[in-house]
Amino acid sequence: MSSKFRQVNDRRGENVNRCILEGEVGYKLKSGTMRNFYKPGVDDVDSDSSIDIADEAEMMFEVVGEEDVDDDDISDDPEKDDSSDDDFNPSDPDSDDSDVQEQQKANGDDAEAGSSEAGPSSANLNEEEEDDDTVKAIIAAIKKPRFQPPEIKLDDFVTDISFHTDEDILAIATITGDVLLYKYSNEENTLLKSFEVHTKACRDIEFSEDGKILLSCSKDKSVMLTDVETGKLKKFYDNAHNSAIYTLYVVDENLFATGDDSGTVKLWDSRTETPVFALKEVEDYISAILTNDAKKLLLFTSGDGYLTTINMGSRKLYVQSEPYEEELTCMNLFRNDSKVIIGTSKGRFYSFNWGEFGYHSDMFPGMKAPIGVMVPLTDRIGCVSGEDGVLRAAHIAPFRNLGIVGQHSLSVESLDINHSGEYIASSSHNNDVRFWNVKYFEDFGDIKYNDKHNTYRERRHNLPSSKVSNASDFFADLAGDD
């Protein structure tokens, strides 16, 4: 795998630092704003840009705004390098996880994936001494043994992951266009099948509602429907879009929607050869697509800051939100599908009441780092992550940061929750997929989050799925709590 930095202009003409990574490009504006991880194909990479990614992992995403860097701070002298194991900061996304593990072993709380875990210094924790229900729930969860599958490490860049709807199977899409199916368990992960489905980077994968078909879209503009059992191609939509396809969403057993880099959304019926309809209401990439159980309205967010809603029955625009001065990067449903929560490139959360998509009802500060992915853990608790590599849990409406679910050393690219709700899996720019046991969130359901809480006291305890016990270090970069 190769990488290098290049000064270029982004699609809006702003100067950026761009890191080319075997066909995938991540970059941050020099003003400090994060552009979503844009995915050109393997053919876009110069053949002479060959630097070992393992040696350059620390360098790859350590790009900061020019206002944060003085010329005097830049030096080629290795003796002036401030980074060392002694200065390790768990909140730093570029810190290697081996340092985290060494810290755990020193504290006697090292927990290997797939084995029973007990929280750090659990014997010294007493939930009865706490007044806050959230802190009590965290301490109780820390004391329970937990299990999760071991980490999956790949040679190729992981672009997306998706859990099977009924079985303990995880699909992993890669930059080479392949899809790998793993059978996961607490003891080991077994590679079941490998599908060579696309000629360029596979950007999004989803299982059908019955789990028999794997849908995938790619930079090569195609959509493929593959039989999970046999590996045979069931349907092939060549040149499904005029631009590279960015995201895919399964609506029901026959319908699915796709969105591309130029802002076009198409609805497809797997029983036909042509799209049901195609609409272009925005000018930037489609970051996420969503609907509810009624399946009458199709929502999508875009890089130019719009939440757009389409009436699927009339095949027309229903409503479009006011523009936001930031990228809307991900969204999901909470509170019995009554709330649409959207994450942004500035680390904010916007809450929309269902049916009222013109303007948000609430805004939460969230965190300083850009948010890229989001999944619901319960009806009122979500997990989000992005550029900083840290997976955070938050209660939605009212908003309250709950803690750190897990962490990677580099930016998190994709996130999903399995069919039982026991595990979430996350992939990062370090070509790894990690599992986190989040079953303990079931015990958080009866907590009254409207009550006053002591933020300092709750931050003393990290969530039990996290590898690092010092929660206050991770919370240092949060924008604020209610």
Same domain, 50 and 160: no
Same domain, 157 and 36: no
Bridging pattern class, strands 390-395 and 400-407: antiparallel
Q: Which two tokens stand for residue 281?
A: 């209401």
Highest mean pLDDT among 245-259, 386-400, 454-468: 245-259
- 112 lies in a domain? no
Same domain, 422 and 308: yes
Same domain, 156 and 78: no
- 425 lies in a domain? yes
- 206 lies in a domain? yes
| Band of residue 421 on the pLDDT scale cut at 50, 70, 90 | very high
Identify the domain boundary among 20, 54, 82.
Answer: 82
Residue-range definition of the domain harbouring residue 28: 3-82
Identify the domain boundary among 82, 106, 140.
Answer: 82
In this predicted structure, the answer to whether residue 413 has a pLDDT above a threshold of 70 is yes
Whether a cis peptide bond, with omega within 30° of 0, leads into 275 is no
State the pLDDT at residue 76: 43
In this predicted structure, the answer to whether residue 237 has a pLDDT above a threshold of 70 is yes
Identify the domain boundary among 66, 82, 98.
Answer: 82
- 339 lies in a domain? yes
Same domain, 344 and 216: yes
Q: Tell me what the mean pLDDT of segment 22-32 comes to.
A: 36
In this predicted structure, the answer to whether residue 357 has a pLDDT above a threshold of 60 is yes
H or E element at residue 248: strand 245-250
Same domain, 220 and 314: yes
Same domain, 162 and 65: no
Q: Which two tokens stand for residue 209?
A: 């509602």
In this predicted structure, the answer to whether residue 452 has a pLDDT above a threshold of 80 is no
- 93 lies in a domain? no
Same domain, 230 and 368: yes
Q: Is residue 354 within 8 Å of 370, Cβ to Cβ?
A: no
State the pLDDT at residue 309: 98
- 121 lies in a domain? no
- 447 lies in a domain? yes
Same domain, 330 and 198: yes
State the pLDDT at residue 215: 98
- 127 lies in a domain? no
The model's pTM:
0.70
Same domain, 72 and 161: no
pLDDT tens track for 334-351: 999 999 999 999 999 999
Same domain, 161 and 65: no
Calculate ∠ Cα 39-204-198, nearest 5°: 80
How many folded domains does the chain comprise? 2
State the pLDDT at residue 200: 96
CATH assignment at residue 465:
2.130.10.10
State the pLDDT at residue 115: 42
The CB density around residue 73, as the number of other CB atoms within 10 Å, is 9
Count, in order, helices (H) and strands (E) of the chain. Answer: 5, 31
Q: Tell me what the mean pLDDT of segment 232-257 comes to.
A: 97
Q: Tell me what the mean pLDDT of segment 397-409 comes to.
A: 87
Please state whether 149 falls in left (phi above 0), alpha (psi between -120 and 50) or beta: beta
Q: Tell me what the mean pLDDT of segment 416-427 comes to.
A: 96
Same domain, 55 and 196: no
pLDDT tens track for 105-137: 433 333 344 444 444 444 455 555 555 566 666
In this predicted structure, the answer to whether residue 455 has a pLDDT above a threshold of 90 is no
